[in-house]
Structures are given as structure tokens and as C-alpha cells.
């Protein structure tokens, strides 16, 4: 049997990072088992849906590399999957349930339901109300009169399943009421729409947050009413903030595309999300291929995992630094452009400069910041004022001028420059620290950079000389 899993977000805003973790686990299992991953858009909440939000879902999934086999823009006999385009299918399945005696048309008004609730609460207190429709066993209603379609839920026994994460779970049927399948306007409620979609798409495994645990019994009852085998269910605990409460914007970025804009790389985000509720020994860093190979439902935790910004940064940085310099050059260009620096991805200076700079970078924003001084005009170099005040002092001016003359007259190779500089400093009894930091600040504007001679080579002779002499002028005027 081919395993088929789905991700079914609602287009009501940004794509939440917690939802992406759900999609990731489904995607990993589908890829591991040679199965299929389906994307569908649950867009029946007309008041809150937007085309922009749908596009955000597509852009987020593409950026993360969570490709789908069926769904929007894949084509073929299946998809695109948007619930708003499948309303006839829901009506058809509702009619089949009515014909088989598992559902009925309910003409009870909102006022009648509220009156029944009030009577219950007066007799029994708040909580526990289950609406018992007077239309449950009637067949004399007019289909042309506004009505909802309700499922005839059993009131005895229990409905349970063996959850892939939580293990055996069962709910008493007495807790169920005759839940609504279709509203008066013909739109399906969540449980019915999801059930019909999963049934007709042949979904074998349903992965979702554990806030959907209460939705599973009604859906299992619907499968039984159709004489169909329910899929396997995997319910995942919530992603929590550092304070143990539901992850929100006050804790960290929660929209997927925010991470893209902050300069994260997709594999770093996915690696961290995979480990946020799943473990494989003490291993922390995984390639995408390793996640596919090692993922296992039994290793998913049953309690909420707390989002840790520092751990995310550690994982993200590890993934950034394993990318080739050529790959990083292509990725960092837009972030350099945001700083007003137009650099071509294939610029050999860019590729060369990345190697020493990426060792200090966690994100592409960090990388762009570290590369800034290599590509900024000499007269526009941005100085760390504290560093400049400390190191570009009058006594540093003659050292910078002498160093510039040495660089100008020495073969422009790191080893030759180092040898000539060492000989000069030893001859004149000058400590390397008295030259290195003023020269670093003069050439880069900052106190931390690649090594002195590496920086010279990366800048090139002409730019290095220009900056050293500008630094001497600034030091003399300090």
C-alpha cells in the first residue's frame, strides 16, 4: 500500500512555524516510505480567507523545500486542492449519509437550540449540554427549506484508535452530540470537510496538532458510516514558547517567511523543527537526507516542546557553515543589496571573502554584515566608533603609513607580506598588537575581522593602501 499524507492549512494569515513542523513530519514519513505528500488548502472560512494568504503558503513551502506530489500547481488528474472548489463533493457525501440513515436534515432554528441549552443549564448547570434534535428520526422535512445536515452520533460505547504518538486513546460516545456536517449555506464544517477530503484522496496517515484530538472520534465515526477503514492518526503536542505557553509573536518569529527574511537557511529551520518534539539519541544536527532516513513516530514526545532561540541559532549556524562558498554567495546577494551593496553572485571577490567571514555568521544577515566592508566604497566605510576611538589614535598614524609603504613595495602575497612585516616590527622593536588592531580598524572599520594578511589579500592592494592611508589621516586628526 502506498502511504499518502497531507498538509491542509487554512489561508487565513501567515503560515505558523508550528504548522510547518506538522507538515515536515508528514513530508519526512512520506519520503521515507516512498509515499506521496498532498497539499490542500482548506479555504471554506470565506470571511477570513485571502488569495495573499494562499500565496504565502505556497511561497513558504517552496522556500523550505517541502515539495508536494499532489495539490496546487502540480497538475495531472489530481488537484488543485481547495475546499471551496469541492462543495459538490461534500453535498454528495452528505446525501449518501442521509440515504443510509447515518445523517439527517435538521430544521431546528438557532433560537430553538439556545432555548434547549438554557433549559439544560437551568436543570444541570453549565457544561455537558448535547443538543438532541427533534428532527433526528424524521424524514418529512422539505429539502428546499433552509436546514443543516447532522450526523446521527451513537450515544453508547466508545470510539478509539491507536495513535502513532500517544498510543491507545478512546472517547465515550456519550460525549458526542449530533454534530453538523453541512451548514445552511452548503459549506462543510471542519470535521466533515476534512473527512471527505481524506477519504476521497486516499489519505493513509493524518498528522496534526493534539488540539485536534477531539475531532478524531467524529471523523472515525464517519469512516465507519461509509464502511471505510480510518487512516492512522498522529497527534503532535503543541510547540510552546520559552515560558511554557503557546508559541506566539512575543516569543519569537512565528511566520515561516520571517525566517527567510531574517536570513535563515531552510535546512537549518527544518532541522530545528524536526528536533522540536522528535529525538534520535543525543544527535542535534541532521541533513535533510538523514532526517528522512531516521524519522520515527515512536520517537516523538508526548509533551509540548519549548522553543529555544539559542538552540535554533546553533543549529541554523551549523547548516549555514556547511554550505559551499559558491552557494552562500548566491544566497547572500539579496542581503547585501538590502545594505545598498550591489554585488554579482559570481564575483570572485565575494566567493573568496565568504570563507573567513562565515565562521562568525549564524544567518545570511550576519554574513552580509560581515562582508559589508569588502564591498563598500572606501569613503563610505562604516566605523565602529568605540574601536576607532581606541585604536585610530595619533601614535598609530606613522605605523599605518609605514605599513602602507611596506605593502606597496612587497610582493602582494600573504606569506611575503607577513614575512616583511615581521622583519620590520622586530627590527624596530614594535609589538604586533600596536599595528594589527589599528590596521584592522583602518581597513575594515571594525575590531573583529579575518586575519591581517588575509584581509589585505581579500581587499586587494589598491583598496588596502587607500584604507590604510585614510586610517592614518583619521588617526592623525584624532
Which positions are annotated as active-site residues?
Answer: 249
Cβ count near 401 (within 10 Å): 17
Q: Which three cell numbers stand for residue 188?
A: 462543510
Q: Which three cell numbers stand for residue 443?
A: 581597513
Edge-first strand listing for the sheet containing 205-209: 36-39, 4-7, 205-209, 232-236
Distance (Å, rounded) from C-alpha 22 to C-alpha 209? 7
Q: Which three cell numbers stand for residue 297?
A: 513516530
β-pairing verdict for 180-182 and 148-151: antiparallel
Distance (Å, rounded) from C-alpha 444 to C-alpha 387? 11
Q: Where are the alpha helices (DSSP H) in 5-50?
A: 17-32
Distance (Å, rounded) from C-alpha 354 to C-alpha 440? 17
Residues 277 and 298: beta-carbon distance below 8 Å: no
Give the closest residue to 195 by CA, choosing from 154, 164, 225, 157: 225
As a dihedral over the C-alpha atoms of residue 269, residue 273, residue 276, residue 279, rounded to 10 degrees, the angle is -100
Distance (Å, rounded) from C-alpha 102 to C-alpha 410? 91
Cβ count near 200 (within 10 Å): 12
Q: Which three cell numbers stand for residue 438?
A: 589599528
Number of H helices, E strands in the chain: 19, 11
Q: Which three cell numbers stand for residue 123?
A: 436543570
Give the closest residue to 83 by CA, choosing from 15, 135, 11, 18: 11
**φ/ψ of residue 420, rounded to 5:** -65, -40
* DSSP-assigned states of every residue in 400-463: HHHHHHHHHHS-SSHHHHHHHHHHHHHHHT--HHHHHHHHHHHHHSSS--S-HHHHHHHH-HHH
Amino acid at each position: 500500500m502506498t502511504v499518502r499524507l497531507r498538509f491542509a492549512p487554512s489561508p487565513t494569515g501567515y503560515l505558523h512555524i508550528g504548522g510547518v513542523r506538522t507538515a515536515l513530519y508528514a513530508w519526512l514519513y512520506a519520503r521515507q516510505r516512498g509515499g506521496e505528500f498532498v497539499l490542500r488548502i482548506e479555504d471554506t472560512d470565506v470571511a477570513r480567507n485571502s488569495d495573499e494568504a494562499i500565496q504565502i503558503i505556497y511561497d513558504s513551502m517552496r522556500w523550505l523545500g517541502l515539495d508536494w506530489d499532489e495539490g496546487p500547481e502540480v497538475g495531472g488528474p489530481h488537484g488543485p486542492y481547495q475546499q471551496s472548489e469541492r462543495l459538490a463533493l461534500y453535498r454528495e457525501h452528505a446525501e449518501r449519509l442521509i440515504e443510509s440513515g447515518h445523517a439527517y436534515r435538521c430544521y431546528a432554528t438557532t433560537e430553538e437550540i439556545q432555548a434547549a441549552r438554557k433549559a439544560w443549564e437551568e436543570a444541570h448547570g453549565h457544561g455537558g449540554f448535547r443538543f438532541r434534535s427533534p428532527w433526528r428520526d424524521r424524514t418529512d422535512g422539505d429539502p428546499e427549506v433552509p436546514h443543516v445536515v447532522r450526523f446521527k452520533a451513537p450515544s453508547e460505547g466508545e470510539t478509539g484508535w491507536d495513535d502513532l504518538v500517544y498510543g491507545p486513546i478512546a472517547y465515550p460516545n456519550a460525549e458526542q452530540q449530533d454534530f453538523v456536517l453541512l451548514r445552511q449555506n452548503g459549506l462543510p464544517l471542519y470535521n466533515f470537510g476534512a473527512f471527505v477530503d481524506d477519504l476521497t484522496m486516499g489519505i493513509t496517515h493524518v498528522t496534526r496538532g493534539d488540539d485536534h484530538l477531539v475531532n478524531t472520534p467524529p471523523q472515525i465515526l464517519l469512516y465507519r458510516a461509509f464502511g471505510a477503514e480510518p487512516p492512522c492518526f498522529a497527534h503532535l503536542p503543541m510547540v510552546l514558547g520559552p515560558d511554557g505557553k503557546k508559541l506566539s509573536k512575543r516569543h519569537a518569529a512565528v511566520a515561516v517567511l520571517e525566517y527567510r527574511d531574517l536570513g535563515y537557511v531552510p535546512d537549518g529551520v527544518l532541522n530545528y523543527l524536526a528536533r522540536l518534539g522528535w529525538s534520535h539519541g543525543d544527535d542535534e544536527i541532521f541533513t535533510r537526507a538523514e532526517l528522512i532516513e531516521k524519522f520515527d513516530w515512536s520517537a516523538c514526545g508526548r509533551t509540548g516542546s519549548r522553543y529555544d532561540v539559542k538552540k535554533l541559532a546553533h543549529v541554523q549556524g551549523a547548516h549555514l557553515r556547511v554550505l559551499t562558498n559558491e552557494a552562500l554567495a548566491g544566497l547572500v546577494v539579496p542581503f547585501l543589496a538590502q545594505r545598498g551593496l550591489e554585488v554579482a553572485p559570481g564575483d570572485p571577490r565575494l566567493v573568496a571573502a565568504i570563507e573567513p567571514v562565515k565562521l562568525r555568521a549564524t544567518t545570511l544577515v550576519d554574513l552580509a554584515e560581515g562582508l559589508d566592508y569588502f564591498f563598500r566604497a572606501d569613503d563610505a566605510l562604516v566605523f565602529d566608533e568605540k574601536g576607532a576611538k581606541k585604536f585610530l589614535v595619533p601614535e598609530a598614524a606613522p605605523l599605518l603609513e609605514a605599513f602602507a609603504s611596506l605593502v606597496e613595495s612587497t610582493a602582494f602575497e600573504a606569506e611575503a607580506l607577513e614575512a616583511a612585516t615581521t622583519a620590520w616590527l622586530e627590527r624596530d622593536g614594535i609589538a604586533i598588537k600596536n599595528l594589527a588592531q589599528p590596521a584592522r580598524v583602518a581597513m575594515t572599520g571594525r575590531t573583529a575581522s579575518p586575519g591581517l594578511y588575509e584581509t589585505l589579500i581579500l581587499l586587494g592592494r589598491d583598496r588596502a593602501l587607500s584604507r590604510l592611508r585614510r586610517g592614518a589621516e583619521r588617526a592623525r586628526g584624532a
